[in-house]
Chains A and B, each alone.
Chain A
């Protein structure tokens, strides 16, 4: 199987879906002539022309609404945000328009649109450029929220998101674009709402998504080596709809759980997952669930302080020790 980057996997998904369906188009800042701020759209302008690869002014609210309007009459826009931080300017159109139009119209007006771009912290970009927004959007009925961790998942999930008849918030990891992974040649899709067990284990469940899958897997390796603990790593892949069944099946097997996410702790994704587990699998738990999250602060610039905010393997290991009563 070819080894390609997360960036190229997304590019393949866009290219294939645009070839497959003439109603799919890509719109955003620097997606065309510049080839994408993160080069996800490299080569697409040459392949599909200005009609379908549309460079916009820096006007997130405006072009996001234009995308939603185009979706209202049956086109399938893919709206790229240069980063999800800038999408805050457009959140009115995402929440008040895209997420609600089907319901407010009594089912008359579906909104088949994908909002995508990099989210989460990169390196020393400061407070306004280092935010994980999964829980913001996952809060809203009417939206689907996807956050893939690997090139394989990124491609399969983006293709499915583009074909979905609902607004999909597709959060890519800014630090994942250069990571490589095996991606099959040819057509495949991955259903939304299906978690993936990235590593099987018996002693503890580590639930994660997007950028935190890598530190979770690293922690699992070290736990096996150093403590002979067998960790199961569950990658949610889709935050909404949430694959509760896969989470519960794992927790019922291991009886212990740690949830890892890059975002802030308060009302985070993990808080919802904790609820689902305690509600359905209370008697299966041998210890209180632990959460590992980004620090509850705006992101500092200093690299040592920044590192201290981010969930790493060491934090995951410490949390696993707590749920295993080993610390």
Chain B
């Protein structure tokens, strides 16, 4: 694993960039808190998987992408959509199942899409989107452009056949895909070491002659730096990368699941929260004189307002028309 970046002082010239990352993480945190509340009051239905604790991964990686790069995620994807630039309104409205949602209320929490931003979903069968991401890598190579694809998945997906088949073909055909394993240590309630013979997911890359890197997924700047290297490998050398981000989710697998209990202890959870990605960046910025407390408070207030606005928008938005039931089944 790379050395923690805390050893070095932050670059004052990049203050704006740091603030942007902090604000994005904060937006995700506040959005997810409100989504959780909305689920508890029955406004959000179905399954709702929250990203709280993992913010540094989506924020750090997406900061290294270009607008024309492709993104694929699993079903814990509100964060990736927001960070990619989807409005909190369109995202929240989709969770509410409203016509103004990014997928017109037909997708829900697990199926967010924003084709204009090349945010290609929101996929809810574990591991099934890895081949799809490989397919966009194939298309990039086919067309000879210098885009890359970022594909996010949990560590549990690394045990599925689609993972191995895709990594093999991505390496064999040199497809510019960055496979980002968000290792939050639990596949629902099963700890990684109870499900995988290999503890270090990044080690699996060697089975496919693929470059890999492991990064502290609670440190947004370390994630960003690792992603910059992976993106360069993809863009310049057309090579895929397996990037493992060691992270942690604070909530249950979904809103229907307990936060702790049989599979992990409250003490473990509290211990992990000490490495909180938002507090971590905030304190580093403050220590290096790049963020006043008042600035942070203002940022948080602004983010709160953005999420409240999204909630009100989602609440007031209409349900899809009944006639929408039979549209979009086939492309005419």
Contacts and interface: CB of A to CB of B under 8 A. Distances in A.
Nearest to A101: B121
Given A62-B165, A65-B128, A70 B139 contact: yes
A293 interface: no
A106 B113 contact: yes
A265 to B, nearest CB: 28
A109 B113 contact: yes
Contact of A62 (B120, B122, B123, B169): B169
Contact of B168 (A59, A67, A107): A59
Contacts of B129: 65, 97
Contact of B132 (A25, A65, A142): A65
B123 A73 contact: no
Most chain B CB within 10 A, of A51, A96, A107, is at A107
B131 A68 contact: yes
Interface in B133-150: 133-139, 142
A93 B128 CA distance: 7
Given A51-B142, A62-B168, A105 B121 contact: yes
B165 A92 contact: no
B81 interface: no
B328 interface: yes
Contacts of B113: 104-106, 108-109
B102 A63 contact: no
A66 B106 contact: no
Contact of A57 (B106, B122, B139, B168): B168
Given A103-B329, A104-B103, A105-B111, A96 B139 contact: no
B128 A165 contact: no
Contact of B169 (A57, A75, A112, A165): A57
A122 interface: no
Nearest to B107: A104
Contacts of B101: 106
A201 interface: no
A71 interface: yes
Query: For the side of the interface on A, what is the size category?
Result: 35 or more
Interface in B149-208: 161-162, 165-166, 168-169, 172
B327 interface: yes
Given A56-B169, A61-B165, A105 B139 contact: no
Contacts of B111: 104-105
Interface string A87-106: 00000110011000111111
A61 B330 contact: no
Contacts of B330: 102, 142, 144, 166
A229 B120 CA distance: 57
Residue among B70, B122, B329 with the highest chain A CB neighbour number at 10 A: B329
A312 interface: no
Interface centre among A102, A106, A142, by most chain B C-beta atoms within 10 angstroms, is: A106
A251 to B, nearest CB: 27
Interface in B306-332: 327-331
Contacts of A191: none
Given A65-B130, A65-B162, A105-B107, A166 B135 contact: no
A74 interface: yes
Contacts of B142: 25, 51, 70, 75
A141 interface: yes
Nearest to B70: A73
Interface string A200-239: 0000000000000000000000000000000000000000
A166 B169 contact: no
Nearest to B329: A141
B13 interface: no
Given A75-B138, A106-B105, A108-B113, 4 more contacts: A75-B139, A97-B132, A102-B330, A109-B115
Q: Which 10 A-B pairs have the closest CB atoms?
A: A69-B135, A65-B131, A62-B165, A106-B104, A69-B132, A105-B113, A107-B328, A106-B103, A165-B331, A59-B165
Interface of B: 70, 101-107, 111, 113-115, 120-123, 125, 128-139, 142, 161-162, 165-166, 168-169, 172, 327-331
29 contacts: A61-B162, A63-B165, A65-B132, A65-B135, A66-B131, A66-B138, A66-B166, A68-B132, A69-B139, A70-B139, A71-B135, A74-B139, A77-B135, A93-B128, A97-B132, A101-B121, A102-B329, A104-B113, A105-B103, A105-B106, A105-B107, A105-B115, A105-B121, A105-B328, A106-B103, A106-B104, A106-B113, A108-B115, A109-B120
